[in-house]
Amino acid sequence: MPTNRTERSLRATFLGIGINVLLVAGKLAGGLAGHSHALIADAMESLADILSSLIVWRAVVVAAEPPDRDHPYGHGKAEAIAAAVVSTLLLLAALGIAVQAGRQLGRQFFPPFQPREAPRAFTLFILIGVVLVKELVYRYASRQASLAESGAVKADAWHHRSDAITSLAAAIGISVCLLGGARFAYADDAAALFAAGIIGWNGWLLLRPALDELMDAAPGAGLMAQIRATAAEVPGVQAVEKCHARKNGFQYWVDMHIEVDPRITVEQGHQIAHQVKSRVREAVPSVNDVLVHVEPGKSRAD
């Protein structure tokens, strides 16, 4: 059954798909008619946004599925996989834009020279509108991603901002072309090259946490300290010897070793372990489960 987090993720994803379908058509038509390579590249980036949003949509749905026989820990890793795929698409989009822009610049500065026609003025107004729309969509999607703690939706939100960055760079380049005349026609491609660098860098920043989750990297020190402190406060716990956690979708799975009086009964040890699990889950709602291993500590004085 969809959770509130899932619903937030899906709303942001569907909004992005709808907006991008309209923008691809508008930017591609405007780029072809207005002789703007940056605007055409921007349209291709929006097309990649649609694909990434579809990937995120399916990942969010799969991640919300409950555990089953084949996936006893649930399907949360679908989120990290989608985030990694979407981040990779960002990197590929940046590479494609950079290669195309580099070729166009080379044709204008190296023989055989192939000067290009300057973009038309109306393409500038298209790009200004795109920047405003995409920045608003980014802010909405980013907020929903934070509330849902979804790395995949966060990566998808950055696809929207990368589109805004590409459009802004293209708008600056076209402005230079229009103000400087034909001799500054290369500014359109230079702007696309600059935008590609920004998109590629952000793609890498988003890819790293997704890979960390897939590799079961340890969560932040603050979260681990909170879990340890909560467990140590449970009556009967002498010490928290080991504590490991890994992220799976929206939630964490914790493995913990606690020390108790070696002379208590198995039943008493079990009760202490159960209290540790309950207290940790109450204190840290993002923790789904806690596996507690009980070890002998120091004997109490009679």
Residue 264, SS3 per DSSP: coil
Length of the chain: 302
Which residues, listed in sequence order, are joined to residue 239 by a DSSP beta bridge? 259
Which residues, listed in sequence order, are joined to residue 242 by a DSSP beta bridge? 257
Give tens-digit pLDDT for 60-99.
Answer: 788 778 888 888 888 888 878 888 888 888 788 788 878 8
- Select the more confidently predicted residue: 63 or 224: 224
Does residue 113 carry a pLDDT above 70?
Answer: no
Residues of the chain with CATH 3.30.70.1350: 221-296
Alpha-carbon distance of 279 to 209, in angstroms, equals: 28
CB-based contacts of 138, cutoff 8 Å, min separation 6: 157, 158, 160, 161, 164
Q: What phi and psi, each to the nearest 5 degrees, are found at residue 35?
A: 60, 40
Fold of 4-214: Alpha-lytic protease prodomain-like (1.20.1510)
Extract the tokens encoding 252: 């964490």
List, as one string, the DSSP characters of 127-182: HHHHHHHHHHHHHHHHHHHHHHT-HHHHHHHHHHHHHHHHHHHHHHHHHHHHHH-G
Residue 233 has what pLDDT?
Answer: 95
Question: DSSP letter at 233?
Answer: T
Does residue 296 carry a pLDDT above 70?
Answer: yes
| CATH-assigned architecture of domain 221-296 | 2-Layer Sandwich (3.30)
Alpha-carbon distance of 246 to 265, in angstroms, equals: 31
Q: Once rounded to an integer, what is the mean pLDDT over residues 275-297?
A: 93
Q: For residue 285, which amino acid is it?
A: P
Residues of the chain with CATH 1.20.1510.10: 4-214
Extract the tokens encoding 184: 């500054």
- Select the more confidently predicted residue: 38 or 200: 200
Residue 242, SS3 per DSSP: strand
Which residues, listed in sequence order, are joined to residue 248 by a DSSP beta bridge? 251
Give tens-digit pLDDT for 121-168.
Answer: 787 888 888 889 989 988 988 888 888 777 778 877 877 887 788 778
Does residue 175 carry a pLDDT above 80?
Answer: yes
Q: At which residue do the structure tokens 């909170």 appear?
A: 226
Alpha-carbon distance of 164 to 156, in angstroms, equals: 13
Show the beta-strand stretches assigned E in the chain: 239-248, 251-260, 287-296
> What percent of the chain is predicted at pLDDT more than 70?
91
The helix-helix angle for 4-34 and 151-180 (nearest 10°) equals 20
